Amino acid sequence: MTTVQRGKINSELSSLTKRFPISNVETQVKQLQLDTIAKNATLLLNHGDVVAGFKSIGISTTDNDTQTFDPIPALMTSAVPGLTTLSTSTQSSNISTLTGKTISNGLTKAVIASGNPEGIRKALEQSISATVPQMTTALQSATDAANRGTIAAVVQSDLKTLMNTVSSSFSKLLKAASSGENSLLNMLQIFVAKIAGNDKTLRTDDIVVEDDTSVSSTTRTYTLEASSKNWNYSNTPKTFRFEPVSTEEELELELSNVKRDITEAVIDWTGTFSDINITAKDIHEDIHRTTGIQYHYIIQRDGTLQRGRPISIATEKSFISNHSSFSVLVGFVGGYNAMRGTENPDFYLSYKSLTSAQLLSFDQFCRSFYRAIPGGQILGRNAIEGNTYLAPGFDVIKYVKDKFDRRSIFTDPTTESSFSTAEIIEKRITDV
Across the strands, what pairs with 380? 267
In 3D space, the residue among 120, 87, 123 whose CA is nearest the CA of residue 105 turns out to be 87
- Establish how many alpha carbons lie within 13 A of residue 98's alpha carbon, considering only the half-sphere containing its beta carbon: 5
- φ/ψ of 117, rounded to 5, equals -55, -40
Helix (H) or strand (E) holding 271: none
Q: Determine the straight-line distance between the first and last CA of the chain, rounded to whole angstroms.
A: 62
What is the pLDDT, as a whole number, of residue 220?
Answer: 43
pTM of the complete model: 0.51
- Taken in order of first residue, the domains within the chain and their CATH numbers are 42-142 (no CATH), 237-431 (3.40.80.10)
Q: How does pLDDT run along the chain (432 residues), one tens digit per residue?
A: 566 666 666 666 655 555 555 667 777 777 888 888 889 889 888 889 999 999 999 888 776 677 888 888 999 998 999 998 877 666 667 766 777 776 666 667 789 999 999 999 999 999 899 999 999 999 999 998 888 899 999 898 887 787 777 777 766 666 655 545 555 555 556 656 666 666 555 554 555 555 554 444 343 445 666 678 889 999 999 999 999 998 998 999 999 889 899 999 999 999 999 999 999 999 999 999 999 999 999 999 999 999 999 999 999 998 998 999 999 999 999 999 999 999 999 999 999 999 999 999 999 999 999 999 988 999 999 999 998 789 999 999 999 999 999 999 999 999 999 999 888 887 766 665
CA atoms within 13 A on the CB side of 170: 13
Burial of 131 (0-12, 13-18, 19+ CB in 10 A): exposed
